[in-house]
A and B are shown apart, each in its own frame.
Chain A
Amino acid sequence: MSADLRVVIVGGQHVGYHAARHLSERGHDVVIIEKDRARVEFLSEQYDATIIQGDGGRRAILRQAGLDRSDVIAALTGYGAMTNIGICTMATKIDSDIGTVARIGHGERDEYAGLVDQVVYPEMLAARAATNEIMHVAGRGVQTVESVTGDLSLLELTVAEDAPAADRELRDVVFPKGAVVVAGRDNNQLPGPDMVLEPGYRYLVAVKANVSDEVVQLFRG
């Protein structure tokens, strides 16, 4: 109905706070529920969200966040998956229309299907980012930007000097079925048949798992 979202975030520690900040920068309204007094002081100084001080696991506190007017609740506390899923469940009892996101600390996303709309596993995301940075620093030229589905990932590949695809136009490179160059990252180009894959430049490529080795070989040699 409205252009701006209203989002309730439970837990104002690092994950909750940064999520609130990103949402607020995009113009959305954010309410943070946080238990710790000192943290409430800090959050309030940032002025990104309305702050409710209290235990987000309590119905009386959750009600004060105005769930009926909110689009999504994200339980992002560090107290474990079950706490966060419990908060989301209680929220849907108060307002059945609300979307739910729960932070988890173990397991696979499939295990939580049906309990909440989405889960987020910050430690896993951080580990993936760390892996990418390690690969980047080591100069391997392959990074996983996002695992779109279990089968499809978005890779960022740097063209090596002596790679098979180096210095060639896109139309002349024979890609396996299941791989698409999405964008040139360093030259800010959308791919056309005459785009040249320049050595040293980075490209975003959507790749199916079964052909990823072949694609990496094209770019890296």
Chain B
Amino acid sequence: MRLVSNEKRSPTAELGLLDATMIGMGAMIGAGIFVLTGLAAEISGPAAIIVFALNGVVTAFTGLSYAELAASIPKSGGGYAFVREIFDDFASFIMGWMLWFAYMIAGALYALGFAPNFIELLHVYDLTAAPGEVGAVIIPVLGIGVPPRFILAFVAVAGLVALNAASTAASGSAETVFTIIKVTILVVFVAFGFLSAGGGSETSFTFQNFDPLFTGGSGPFSILPAMGLTFIAFEGYDLITTVTEEVENPRENIPKAIFISLAATVVVYLLVVTVAIGTLGATELAAAGEAGIAEAATSFMPENVPIIQNGGALIVFGAVFSTITALNAVVIASSRVAFSMGREGQLLPSVGQIHHRFGTPFVAVLLSAVVMLGSVALPTTSAGNMSSLFFLLSFIIVNVAVIRLRRERPAMNRPYEMPFYPAPPLIGIALNLLLTGVLITYLLRTDRLAILLSVGWIALGGIAYLGLNRYRTPSDPAETDADGSATDSTMTPEGEA
């Protein structure tokens, strides 16, 4: 007999179109825009604006695929669940393995983006020195200096992991409030940025900062690597598909939520990047790195605002708040991928179990935490590079899944059918492949560490898969029925003896 999973889904959790949209926007607007704008400006200069616009277009093709899959397959597993539906064991394992890593590395990236912005926030209130000037923190026992940003990132990850391991995540409505706060702060940023136009000061908004659009002699082609690097900024709408079963009228609302959140995010990004470059200028933005937007804000936001003193502090707070909520989203997302893989028998069964007391996928959360905590030791750019790379790869597979499902299961009911099939998934595959290629070539020149770790992770996946198959096979021929190896060894140890 199989174990019957008796835990019922909470039937009350009804997310409306707004909530679903906010989950997508909340996960996208968070880290990418705050952490990576400086990086994009460094590579492409003022053309960073085109980088974000084009990435929005590229990811929209995959958005169509996600919408079609989520509307027809009622599973809350996100990309992994869809791929698992149509691909064989190994392919779906690799998809899950890559997606899991993508979320974990994104977590490290957000934590690393959180740290300098947090220090900046303290600096605004004169609690610490400026981000660049904070000395190393000496760890007493080891006697070695550790950069405070590393400690902060580590603490942020550890704190959110503990929260998510011990209690089930905050509901969608909390996410809606968070996202509205984030977007409002960015709207304030944009408004004051444009208002500063004609102010005559050094950082007043001016379109002269966009001339020339392409800098550095590399010309328009410099935007391709920048697109690859900042692709992660549009990761997040896929998280809508991890909660589909809690959405009301899902077959209509999920495609809508995906498109609205993508469109709204593109608009917000373009406005924010326009203001950041228009005020601070691409060169200074690049120099500010992860705290670029915050730096831009402090330059033109009004001072002497009651309570918060410096208006720029509001934006810095927005950056801190955004990175921490986005980090929370990927802590949940990564553990959900691992959890689904465990339940499908593609990771050790204990990963797919709900903790008997906390009611959380405890092992999945902890396992994800190990990788995330290790990854905050990486340079911010490497974390960004790797997560972009793995999202590009997994998005390619999602597009292939749409095509395979259409070919092999033509009779499957598709409440939402993408227009102009098969063009969108084919274009999506082509563009994602192009960006992957460009990104890999670029990384081979500039960031060997990221390439090395990426290849290492996939190799580790191959080993894990082989090991798991060896672990699964012994009880299979005996036909003790398929539940065999997995559940028995952990649930009823004495029964096996």
Contacts and interface: CB of A to CB of B under 8 A. Distances in A.
Binding between chains A and B: yes
Interface of A: 1-5, 24-29, 40, 43-45, 47-54, 61, 64, 66, 71, 97
Given A2-B344, A47-B251, A52-B412, 20 more contacts: A1-B482, A1-B484, A3-B5, A3-B345, A3-B353, A26-B4, A26-B5, A26-B8, A27-B7, A43-B413, A44-B415, A47-B74, A47-B244, A49-B74, A50-B74, A52-B411, A53-B411, A61-B411, A64-B412, A66-B409
Contact of B472 (A1, A5, A64, A71): A1
Contacts of A49: 74
A4 B343 contact: yes
Contact of B410 (A3, A5, A64): A64
Interface in B321-373: 342-345, 349, 352-353
A47 B251 CA distance: 8
Contacts of B250: 47
B413 A40 contact: yes
Contacts of A4: 5, 343-344
Contacts of A66: 85-86, 409
A28 B9 CA distance: 11
Contacts of A29: 75
Nearest to B75: A29
Contacts of B158: none
B209 interface: no
A3 B352 contact: yes
B251 A44 contact: yes
B245 interface: yes
B492 to A, nearest CB: 14
Contacts of A53: 411-413
B483 interface: yes
Given A26-B8, A45-B251, A1 B486 contact: yes
Main secondary structure of the interface of B (DSSP, over half): loop
Contacts of B72: 50-51
Contact of A52 (B11, B409, B472): B409
A177 to B, nearest CB: 28
B170 interface: no
Contact of B486 (A2, A25, A51): A2
Nearest to A5: B2
Contacts of B408: 64
B5 A25 contact: no
A5 to B, nearest CB: 7
A50 B5 contact: no
Contact of A25 (B8, B349, B411, B483): B8
A39 B483 CA distance: 34
A27 B343 CA distance: 11
A28 B411 CA distance: 22
Top 10 closest A-B pairs, CB basis? A51-B413, A1-B345, A2-B345, A64-B409, A54-B411, A3-B343, A2-B344, A47-B74, A1-B482, A47-B250
A157 to B, nearest CB: 27
Interface in B156-198: none
A61 B483 CA distance: 28
Interface string B1-40: 0111111110100000000000000000000000000000
Contact of B9 (A2, A25, A40, A97): A25
Given A47-B74, A49-B74, A3 B411 contact: no
Contacts of B487: 3
Given A3-B352, A25-B8, A64-B412, A48 B343 contact: no
Contacts of A71: 2, 482
Nearest to B77: A29
Contacts of A25: 8-9, 11
A97 B479 CA distance: 10
A71 B7 CA distance: 20
15 contacts: A1-B483, A2-B343, A3-B343, A4-B343, A24-B74, A25-B11, A26-B7, A26-B8, A28-B5, A44-B413, A44-B415, A47-B244, A49-B74, A52-B411, A53-B413
Nearest to B86: A66
B73 interface: yes
Interface string B484-497: 11110000000000
A118 B289 CA distance: 65
A64 B204 CA distance: 61
